[in-house]
Structure 1
Amino acid sequence: MFIKLSRYCRQTFAVVVFLPLILFADQSIAEESSSAGQAKTLLIVGDSLSAGYGLQQHEGWVSLLQNLWADEVHRIDVINAAISGETSDGGLARLPRLLKQHSPTHVFIELGGNDGLQGHPVNKLKNNLDEMVKLAQQSGATVILQDMEIPPNYGQRYTKMFANTFDEVAKQNDIPLVPFFLESIALNKDLMQKDGIHPNKEAQTMIAEYMDTKLSPLIKNSPH
């Protein structure tokens, strides 16, 4: 009787001790698998530079960037909500609906170029960008801002104020600022369309690779 009881106790003890360990291990593996397989969603709110003006949709840098990320373990899905001709007013007006529709983990704001080309008040641009950042953050998304540059059509003072706007918004909201992606492209006529404003098909691969080096670490290393 004593021997049988001892065996029973040993077996029961083994089940009691090891079953939680097995369950914990299964739970950890499941959580790790779920985390690895869960895609992050990048919402791009931009203008013609991100919409691929003058190009087929699959030729633009956003589509090429999505292709670069397609085979990665930590997936990043891209929602391209860029519209040619978009200003910060339009982006701000559309953002609440986009956030509700797509629930992005990350929002990339590439706006302001058309504001600058049209001579819109810099303070209005700054307020619009700031409000967009706050709306996205309130939705739980991590925000990344694109720096922008314009030709000095409206004088040196306006151009300087415009250039400072993006850095100020980024610093005030403690968000990353991506350097202007046309900086090394805009002065090369072979990489620009005839209008001198929009990059051509040949430039898109360069932009996609550049944006990969800037956006990928920011998204993959974020807590989302």
Structure 2
Amino acid sequence: MLFLNINSLRNKIYILLILIPLLLISDQLQAKETKLLILGDSLSAAYGLKQEQGWVSLLQDAWQDKDIIIINAAISGETTDGALARLPRLLKQHSPTHIFVELGGNDGLQGHPVSKMRNNLEEIIQLSQASQVKVILQQMQIPTNYGKRYTQMFTGSYAQLAEQYALTMLPFFLENIALDKNLMQRDGIHPTAEAQIIIAKDMQKRLGDIFSPSRIKNNQLE
């Protein structure tokens, strides 16, 4: 009986010796993996185009052999209200390491109170940070015909939140593109397929600098 117990104990020890290194390797691989959740509106949802023509898909293709996974949760017409309601489920489902927040454009175009939009963005930031997710905030802009005061309050909200929560804030990716009518669809709001390539290249550099240049330097968009 004692002999059997000793053999059983040995077997358990051998199993543990095998499993522990495997578990450590698994943890290390997970730690190296970057999962980027795109929480945005039509500007990140390839509105008016095929999904594969959008900048998010182009960026995912460029990074397909890297430890960077992109989850595109952008929805056309999305507001900060809708995104905030969806966020808890998205965080639980995908467990991202980073979240790119590209929201507020529809709030502004619909004339929603800037204070409400700002509060929603703040809750999105707080929920993300509470889940140990690093937040990357996209500066948004709206047409100047909404009035100087409203436009300044709208634009200023992003800089205020970025400073308050120590966030990386990226400049509005349509800032220069929107000035070229050839790069915008007929509605004058959404970028063309050609513009999506320009955005993807720009985002590849900006996001790549945040994650790790050494991991993606050989995968540049042509």
Instruction: Answer whether TM exceeds 0.5 for this pair.
Output: yes
* Aligned positions of 1:142-161 closer than 5 A: 142-161=134-153
Residue 44 in structure 1 maps to residue 26 in structure 2 = no
SS of 1:79's equivalent in the other structure is strand
Letter in 1 for 2:36: L
Length-normalised TM-score, structure 2: 0.82
After superposition, give the CA deviation of every residue in 1:133-152 in whole Å (9 maximum; x if it has no partner).
01001111111000001102
Provide the C-alpha distance between the structure 1 equivalents of 2:102 and 2:149, rounded to a whole number of angstroms: 22
Could you tell me which residue of structure 2 aligns to residue 182 of structure 1?
174
Provide the C-alpha distance between the structure 2 equivalents of 1:152 and 1:86, rounded to a whole number of angstroms: 21
Letter in 1 for 2:205: T
Q: CA RMSD in A?
A: 2.0
Provide the C-alpha distance between the structure 2 equivalents of 1:45 and 1:209, rounded to a whole number of angstroms: 19
Q: For residues 37 and 174 of structure 1, do their structure 2 counterparts lie closer, same or farther at Cα, with a shift above 3 Å needed?
A: closer
Residue 219 in structure 1 maps to residue 215 in structure 2 = no
Provide the C-alpha distance between the structure 2 equivalents of 1:167 and 1:33, rounded to a whole number of angstroms: 36
How far 1:33 sits from its partner (Å)? 10
Among residues 51, 59, 77, which one is paired with 1:57 in the alignment? 51
Letter in 1 for 2:182: D
Provide the C-alpha distance between the structure 1 equivalents of 2:167 and 2:32, rounded to a whole number of angstroms: 24
Among residues 152, 156, 160, which one is paired with 1:164 in the alignment? 156
CA contact (8 A) 1:86 1:111 kept: yes
Give the gaps of 5 or more residues in structure 1: 1-22
Return the index of the structure with the highest Cα Rg.
1
SS of 1:186's equivalent in the other structure is helix
Provide the C-alpha distance between the structure 2 equivalents of 1:32 and 1:115, rounded to a whole number of angstroms: 42
Letter in 2 for 1:195: D
Letter in 1 for 2:42: S
Q: How many residues align?
A: 192
How far 1:31 sits from its partner (Å)? 5.1
How far 1:32 sits from its partner (Å)? 11
SS of 1:153's equivalent in the other structure is helix
Residue 135 in structure 1 maps to residue 119 in structure 2 = no
Give the gaps of 5 or more residues in structure 2: 1-16, 214-222
Letter in 2 for 1:68: A
Provide the C-alpha distance between the structure 2 equivalents of 1:206 and 1:37, rounded to a whole number of angstroms: 31
Could you tell me which residue of structure 2 aligns to residue 13 of structure 1?
none
